[in-house]
Amino acid sequence: MPATPPMPNVTFQEPAQPAEGAVLLLTGEGPELSAMGKALDEALGGQLTRAAKAAEFEGKPGKSLEVLAPGNGDIARVFLLGVGEIEAEDENAWIKLGGEIAGAGLPGEGDLTVLAELGADSVTPEQAAAIGAGIRLRSYGFEKYKTKKNGKKPAKKKARSVKILVGDSKVAKKAYARSNAIVSGVTLARDLVNEPANALGPEEFAAEAQKLEELGVTVTVLDEAAMKKEGMNALLAVGQGSGRPSRLVTMEWKGVKKKSAPVCFIGKGVVFDTGGISIKPAAGMEDMKGDMGGAAAVIGAMKALATRKAKANVVGIMGLVENMPDGLAQRPGDIVTAMSGQTIEVINTDAEGRLVLADALTYAQKMFKPAAIVDLATLTGAIIVALGHQNAGVFSNEDAFAAKIVEAGKKTGDLAWHMPLSSEYDKLIDSRFADMKNTGGRWAGAVTAAQFLHRFVENGTTWAHMDVAGTAFSSPANELNQGWASGYGVRLLDRLVADHYEG
């Protein structure tokens, strides 16, 4: 399911004087032109300098100026983009700069040449590769189902070309291959979250996972009979009101030959959530096609890791269900027995994601004995009340592990905030009739949801839960994403593996 319109092709070449098409220069304040920028301005008879003065363009960070048809040659336009101070080692800042370049230089038609110099300094090949990744992330769009645009049938578009001029272009190409692998994972996650639920059910989602076998990922799909045999009654209860059968998918990437406990990522994959019998209000329910944002992050991360051949053993697990309210749907007051043997009183059928994750957590520990688990889920509205759309909430049984996740988020821009767990919160989910109930009431809803999941973590396994309800979709537009689905979590999980689990 490709993103539309097609994202640009990014290539790298050694510095040379551009002679045609569109060109983008990075400027410091003043504006201060780089050596290549000054040479281009001179070749154009000083047109760029004069245009900047006439437009009072001072090269402030984030500000841009478009100069149309400068000189008498074949250069159609030149863009000047102001850039502030960027730390050399801040990879995400260079990726964001790529997004700014795409925002300034790609509207319209034709190809673009980027002069990768910043003031008196040359951009390194690694920084240029990050810029290329940012260009592609910002260029993402989802118009798959549009038959008309502005009243007209849109012409089929070919991919644009962006050429980045940088010294050591071969090194840049190699670095970009890794960056672009991660972009491919983010793109997959965005595509899946953007898909309507009538096109993406549990079976279709599982089929998307099976495509990763082409990259060397071992994919196993459990149907309802297999899950019933495993005792996954909590997960199965969520989907019993839907005419679409539930699935549990495992994706194994073995990046090292030696046997070692893998890190495991688990994603909530509720392809559509009506709330079940505890039905949601109609307003905004269409957004619940994105209630599988956690699973999208997991499959996206697995694609990124496999594409770049990560030297680590990683397992991705997705519980895929649809929560619908027909005559067979579970009811408030039902009691189900999870795979772990623990019993759950269902107080609210709209607190369904934690039932899916409960069995997925038990299955992960039984089958893979992981070194660490991170589960991701669009789990609660409460986390949005607490953190808005800027941060995901991180809950963990080990503070040091939570700190690693938060740090990975800072490095990638997938921001996360460490939230509390404690026995006092745990008391709120005790049940009169079962081992626990699936909601603790109005207060601290994100925390009690995490406490619920914590009860399914066994034998001191290192575990963290990420509530991504505010970040997986409908998050604010930024330098790297102008759409609805963000692809949140893919870059964070990849960075977590790269920093702590790759040999």
Query: Which residues are designated catalytic?
Result: 280, 354
| C-alpha to C-alpha distance for 21 and 51, rounded to whole angstroms | 18
Both structure tokens of 490 = 């893919």
**Half-sphere exposure of residue 401: CA atoms within 13 angstroms, side-chain side:** 20
| Number of C-beta neighbours around residue 66 at 10 A | 17
Question: Which H helix or E strand runs over 273?
Answer: strand 263-273
DSSP string, 65-110: EEEES-SSSEEEEEEEEE-----TT-HHHHHHHHHHHHHHH-SSSS
Residue with tokens 């990124």: 304
Of the candidates 177, 298, 207, 153, which has an alpha carbon nearest to the alpha carbon of residue 1? 207
* Residue 208, SS3 per DSSP: helix
Phi first, then psi: give them for residue 456, nearest 5 degrees: -105, 10
| C-alpha to C-alpha distance for 238 and 140, rounded to whole angstroms | 33
| C-alpha to C-alpha distance for 20 and 75, rounded to whole angstroms | 4
Question: Which H helix or E strand runs over 272?
Answer: strand 263-273
Both structure tokens of 53 = 């003065």
| C-alpha to C-alpha distance for 186 and 142, rounded to whole angstroms | 13
